[in-house]
Amino acid sequence: MAIDKCKKCGNEVRYGAAARPKCAGKVKSLSMIYGTIVLGVFILAMFIGVSSGTKSKVSVGTPVSGAPSEVFHPGDDVLLVVSEGVVLLADNEQAYGAFMKLAIAKDYLGMAQMEASGSLFSVPSGTKARIIDRGFERRLVRIMEGKHFGRSGWVVLSLLKKP
């Protein structure tokens, strides 16, 4: 039988005793410590498994095909392209900011009101334009054909394509 010293009171006690008779301190068993370690490793493994099983989403505005994104500078000729419908352009930068807020909120009635007031205008998809200024994720273009020939407007960068 091995004797151990109690760290709490300094008395000698039998090694492996469940309790200390003089100071009433409990002895932590090794199985309790090992159980805690095993449980911690199990929880960590579950967390790693769940986090690595999630699929990443493609963020809006990134090229899906993996092709390098096109660079557009003032003076470049471009096409305004959407999958269906028309391309909306803002008359000025303030209208562009308001339009983006409405687009994020999917407030189509608000967009229609902006178009009716003249701060937004639409052109058919595939319309030719020339870039005349730039901003972060947007370009100012001059319409080069159609009903709005000569008019300029701000458009989101992702709607521009090289001809």
Six-digit token string for 162: 């090289």
**Same domain, yes or no: 86 and 150:** yes
Could you tell me which of 90, 67, 91, 80 has the C-alpha nearest to residue 144? Answer: 80
Q: Domain of residue 47: give its range.
A: 3-52
**Same domain, yes or no: 111 and 154:** yes
Segment (H or E) for 110: helix 108-117
Q: Is the pTM of this model over 0.85?
A: no
Q: Please state the domain count of the chain.
A: 2
**Same domain, yes or no: 85 and 43:** no
The DSSP bridge partners found for residue 127 are 80
- Over its length of 163 residues, how does the chain's per-residue pLDDT go in tens digits? 566 666 667 777 666 665 556 665 555 556 666 667 766 676 666 656 544 444 433 333 333 333 446 788 898 999 999 888 889 999 999 999 999 999 899 888 998 999 899 999 999 989 999 999 988 889 999 999 999 999 999 999 888 998 8
